[in-house]
Structure 1
Amino acid sequence: MSAVPTIKLNDGVEIPQLGFGVFQVPPEDTKEATLQALEVGYRHIDTAEMYGNEKGVGEALVESGIPRDEIFVTSKLNNTFHAREDALKAFDTTMETLGFETLDLFLIHWPMPAVGDYVETWKAMEEMKASGRVRSIGVSNFQPAHLQRLFDETETVPSVNQIEVHPYLTNEVARAFNTEHGIATEAWSPIAKGNVLTDPVVTAIADRVGRSAAQVTLRWHIQRGDIVFPKSVTRSRVEENLALFDFELTDDDIAAIAKLNRDERTGPDPDTFNWIP
């Protein structure tokens, strides 16, 4: 199996372009799911405070025996902790729950524009990075207008913006804004909760190249430069999702899949989502 390439972030940190996501993996199953992913060959794990399963990720890393510095781990600040002091305390809790001295990437999970001041939150994130306890800081679900406020009012450009991207929501404006400002795009819901896997355009390409529809869709992301972290607890699919680097799509394939865009979200709109769990 070919090695997973890395992407150099704007702060010099390198992140594997393909990872394993634990969104909606039950906390009691997370350790085993993560161990399985590490055994298969993943070295990038994406979790979040909101998922309630950081503990399982941390336990899996210890049990795996793999050196900590060989595994890239991301977590995210929960929506309840946007005030400065709350954010700093929440980060301490994440670190304690994971059992880490250093986290690779910490993100603001949602901008929550009507609830709190995400600029205050971002300044707290800058403090976290200055402490040396997190290597990179970024955001998730930030629209260009949200990012512009950060540029105007703070000192640090996010290293990553994790946004919903898939063939039915190519999110080109946000992706282009990220690229313009040196921010890496991470694509969550990369196969649109499976909705794209029966699309005739995708399945025709999959038949031609002898791969699954999921592999074709994930390869589309990879060739466009997105960072992806598909989730599955089925070993065969975990293995399949990693086998993306020994084939390529043509430029015509990439364009044909991009044309499937419907601006169709599988999740909330970041401009109006203000949910506190």
Structure 2
Amino acid sequence: MSETLTFPHLGLGTVYLRGEEGAGIVDSAIEAGYRLIDTAYNYENEGAVGLGIRRALARTGVEREEIIVSTKLAGRYHERPLADRAIEESAARLGHGAIDLLLIHWPNPKQGHFTEAWAAMLDARERGLVKHLGVSNFLPEHIEELHSVSAELPEVNQLEIHPMFPQDEAVAWHQDHGIAVESWSPLGRGELLNHPTLRALAEEHHTGVAELILAWHHTRGLIPLPRTSHPERLRDNFEAARVTLDDTTVATISGISEGHPHRLWDQDPAEYEEF
């Protein structure tokens, strides 16, 4: 097993960032200080992400070893040997040798093959195709099943987390088990940027609402993955860790979900499947 990953305070989400535009955003993000770039087989942009990284490395002097590139295994490839070929394809499209961090995108529990996918990932690590392993959208019971068949826990779980869905209990479970937590859709797809409570708190802290929310993730020990197609937003998001929040402010932000916490698209990992 490789040395445990040390995660930066946030990463770049790349869903919908494709082609030259996507490569340009990745290039600009690395120049702005980002060292974690998140993609997925199903985002159809592993090639653009790899291209953007290569351009940034050639232009900025950043070393490849400084960057963590994560991608995700799609649900239609959980079964062996489909998983083996899909992992090889992801590595080839990214074009940087071994994948730094590979996640299972969704558990797809009705299909019941995610332990096969995990076995394929463990083998891929032995073959030198992958350095670190994790999951995405897994519930604790799914992770315990992986642990029962491999005696190994994933290093990270990527979960939907934002102020309308803070997932306090899940976050505590993962932190108790030494599993890092990444937040997808950390800004709630922009739905929260005009929330009156958040606007008032942002004004009080002399920052923007997006930066306030990202600071909320950071203060809770989470690794948010905001996506933006606007280069000027990259640095604002990156600098959000400088915003200091006390426990009362963190609780107030989490409290806006009280009574009606909700996922953005009703994607409950116990039922939802993505292929």
**Is TM (by shorter chain) over 0.5?**
yes
TM-score tier by shorter-chain length is: over 0.9
Moved more, 24-33 or 85-94: 24-33
Amino acid at match of 1:44: L
* Structure 1 Cα separation of the partners of residues 234 and 9 of structure 2: 15
In the alignment, is the contact (CA less than 8 A) between 1:82 and 1:116 conserved in 2? no
How many angstroms does 1:147 deviate by?
1.1
How many angstroms does 1:188 deviate by?
0.5
How many angstroms does 1:116 deviate by?
3.6
What does 1:163-242 align with in structure 2 at a 5 Å threshold? 163-242=159-238
* Structure 2 Cα separation of the partners of residues 227 and 86 of structure 1: 30
Name the SS of the counterpart of 1:16 in structure 2.
coil
* Structure 2 Cα separation of the partners of residues 216 and 184 of structure 1: 21
Deviating 4+ runs (over 3 angstroms): none
Counterpart for residue 273 of structure 2: 274
How many angstroms does 1:11 deviate by?
4.9
Counterpart for residue 44 of structure 1: 36
What does 1:63-74 align with in structure 2 at a 5 Å threshold? 63-64=55-56, 65=58, 66-74=62-70
Name the SS of the counterpart of 2:182 in structure 1.
strand
In the alignment, is the contact (CA less than 8 A) between 2:214 and 2:241 conserved in 1? no
Q: 2:154 aligns with which of 126, 139, 158?
A: 158
Q: 1:255 aligns with which of 251, 258, 263?
A: 251
Moved more, 220-229 or 26-35: 26-35
How many angstroms does 1:17 deviate by?
2.2
What does 1:68-217 align with in structure 2 at a 5 Å threshold? 68-217=64-213
Residue segments in structure 2 that go unaligned for 5+ positions in a row: none
How many angstroms does 1:263 deviate by?
2.2
TM (norm. structure 2) is: 0.93
* Structure 1 Cα separation of the partners of residues 7 and 213 of structure 2: 20
TM (norm. structure 1) is: 0.92
* Structure 2 Cα separation of the partners of residues 11 and 122 of structure 1: 19
* Structure 1 Cα separation of the partners of residues 245 and 137 of structure 2: 28
How many angstroms does 1:153 deviate by?
2.0
- RMSD, aligned α-carbons: 1.5
Counterpart for residue 53 of structure 1: 45
1:34 equivalent in alignment to 2:34: no
* Structure 2 Cα separation of the partners of residues 225 and 246 of structure 1: 14
Name the SS of the counterpart of 1:14 in structure 2.
coil
Amino acid at match of 2:42: M
In the alignment, is the contact (CA less than 8 A) between 1:27 and 1:52 conserved in 2? no
Moved more, 67-76 or 157-166: 67-76
How many angstroms does 1:247 deviate by?
2.5
Count of aligned positions: 267
Residue segments in structure 1 that go unaligned for 5+ positions in a row: 1-9
1:42-84 C-alpha deviation (Å, 9 max, x unpaired):
1211001100000011111111213211211100001110012
How many angstroms does 1:28 deviate by?
4.2
